Amino acid sequence: MLTQTRRTPLFDFDGTLVDSDAALLAPFAALGVDPATIPLGLPAAQACDLAGISLEDYLAHYDESASQPFPGVEELLARLDHWGLCSNKARPSGVAELARLRWAPTVALFSDDFDGEPKRLEPLLAALDLQPADAVYVGDTDHDRSAAAAAGVPFALAGWNARVTPRPDDLVLVHPPDLLALLG
């Protein structure tokens, strides 16, 4: 159980803050790739390599306005003065979506910041001058669980996403404001 009185929230983007499954898969379909063959949560460049398309072609077909915040997320973020974002999304689309949504994380890292490799929380912790125990990472995929575990950061599952499948040891947040109780 999380017991520290003040933690900094760190978030995954797609599937956690925004309902983006359809938006993420649409470029694959537009480029003739069966979206069912592409697992969600991969770094953007890896997903494109798996599909046999270029990241540039994918981004040219990606609609930054197609994803929408999950109910309660905007209200949660409005109550936070300090938060981080770590996503496998490509930086150009991530920055465009953050600007459209008028969200301003203290630090935002994207797939490009990890040379196309899976995201890691350690650089985000360093940029925010945090120890692992000073944060909680909220995500929706096994990739998110793995990133949190590798960095020693407590993980909370974005249970407001109907697609997620909790594991027995997951701390499941049913609604975005549930996170506030963990932060102190």
CB 142 within 8 A of CB 167: no
168: CATH: 3.40.50.1000
**How would you write the pLDDT of the chain (184 residues) with one tens digit per residue?**
444 458 999 999 999 999 999 999 999 999 999 999 998 888 888 999 999 999 999 999 999 899 999 999 999 999 999 999 999 999 999 999 999 999 999 999 999 999 878 899 999 999 999 999 999 999 999 999 999 999 999 999 999 999 999 999 999 999 999 999 989 7
Q: Classify residue 1: in a domain, yes or no.
A: no
Whether 145 is in a domain gets the answer yes
Is there a single domain that holds both residue 162 and residue 129? yes
> Which residues are tagged catalytic?
12
Is residue 123 domain-resident? yes
pTM for the model stands at: 0.91
Task: Please tell me whether residues 81 and 57 are part of one structural domain.
Answer: no
Residues 25 and 112 placed together within one structural domain of the fold: no
| Number of independent structural domains in the chain | 2
Which domain, by its residues, includes 50? 21-61
12, 28: one domain: no
Q: Quick one: 16 and 44 in the same domain? A: no
Best CA proximity match to 86, nearest among 36, 24, 39, 155: 155
pLDDT of residue 30: 96
Angle formed at CA 161 by CA 148 and CA 152, multiple of 5 degrees? 10
Q: Specify if 3 maps to a domain.
A: no
The per-residue pLDDT for 26 is 95
